[in-house]
């Protein structure tokens, strides 16, 4: 399992983003493993993202958003960020 982001783990912004990713994934009927594979992210890292433990890199966020059929702006709006 990846180490949590030491400075930002459980930050309200990361919790909101993780919840938005989870909501979008579930709305599409995609498993966490399927989203991780399609986004080229380790499944355990995807889990950490959804739990607000990781400060996600921009390009990772671009891949996740694209896999979900969203823009990064749409995903951020859903997270109220």
CA 9 to CA 56: how far, in whole Å? Answer: 11
Residue 32 placed within a domain? yes
So what's the pLDDT on residue 3? 86
Helix, strand, coil percent values for the chain (each to nearest 5): 60, 0, 40
CA 80 to CA 2: how far, in whole Å? Answer: 26
Determine the structural domain holding residue 52 and report its residue range.
12-78
Residue 5 placed within a domain? no
Residue 29 placed within a domain? yes
Report the CATH number that the domain containing residue 58 is assigned in CATH.
1.10.260.40
Residue 61 placed within a domain? yes
CA 2 to CA 69: how far, in whole Å? Answer: 26
So what's the pLDDT on residue 66? 98
Query: pLDDT 10s per residue in the chain (81 long)?
Result: 788 888 999 999 999 999 999 999 999 999 999 999 999 999 999 999 999 999 999 999 999 999 999 999 999 999 999
Residue 2 placed within a domain? no
So what's the pLDDT on residue 41? 97
- Output the pTM of the full model: 0.94
Residue 3 placed within a domain? no
Residue 48 placed within a domain? yes
**Number of independent structural domains in the chain:** 1
Residue 34 placed within a domain? yes
């Amino acid at each position: 399992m990846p180490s949590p982001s030491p400075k930002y783990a459980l930050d309200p912004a990361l919790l909101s983003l993780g919840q938005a990713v989870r909501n979008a994934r579930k709305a599409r009927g995609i498993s966490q493993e399927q989203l991780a594979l399609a986004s080229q992210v380790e499944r355990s890292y995807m889990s950490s993202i959804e739990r607000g433990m990781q400060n996600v890199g921009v390009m990772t966020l671009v891949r996740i958003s694209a896999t979900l059929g969203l823009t990064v702006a749409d995903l951020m709006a859903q997270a109220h960020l």
